Amino acid sequence: MIRYFEDFSPGQVFKHWPGRTITDFDNTWFTLMTMNTNPLHFDAAYAAKSQHGRCLVNGLLVLSTVVGMSVKDVSENAIANLEYESVRHTAPTFGGDTLYAETTVLETTPSKSKNDRGIIYVETRGLNQNGEQVMILRRRILQPRRPA
């Protein structure tokens, strides 16, 4: 469903589906592709000596996946993502974990300069297969108004 600015209201919650299982391959490929050299993401022997005892999924992969999950419901029709106000990793993600996401609309603001758009302010939470929050982020999205 294509959504316009008028289709969003404060308090509205979108539970994004389907989830996405992050494999060790996904993590290694993404980490190396983005030139992240932290061995916690791809060196199992090194990571085994860390506080988590195994490789962590790259946080930017978690962010990209959680935001990507929200696109169909929240920003597929967006003009632009204007701002990522905050991103917090609240728990680790490991290879084999399945990510799910849900978004709450916090605020809607009509544009003051152009009548054909408005800004939606949302909070998206990433959850693992156990329902534990692993990430929370807030962003502002420029959304078109419904055509006349």
Instruction: Please state, rounded to an integer, the average pLDDT across all residues of the chain.
Output: 97
Domain over 5-21+59-144 is classified CATH 3.40.630.10: no
User: Mind listing the pLDDT tens digit for each residue in 103-124?
Assistant: 999 999 999 999 999 999 999 9
pLDDT of residue 1 exceeding 90, the answer is no
Domain boundaries, the chain: 5-21+59-144
Taking the C-alpha atoms of residue 4 and residue 143, their distance in angstroms, rounded to an integer, is 6
pLDDT of residue 16 exceeding 90, the answer is yes
DSSP states along 43-100:
-HHHHHTSTTSSPPPPHHHHHHHHHHHHIIIIITT-SEEEEEEEEEE-S---TT-EEE
Q: What is the H or E stretch that residue 50 is in?
A: none
Q: Give the N- to C-terminal CA distance of the chain in Å, as an integer.
A: 18
Taking the C-alpha atoms of residue 94 and residue 112, their distance in angstroms, rounded to an integer, is 44
pLDDT of residue 148 exceeding 90, the answer is no
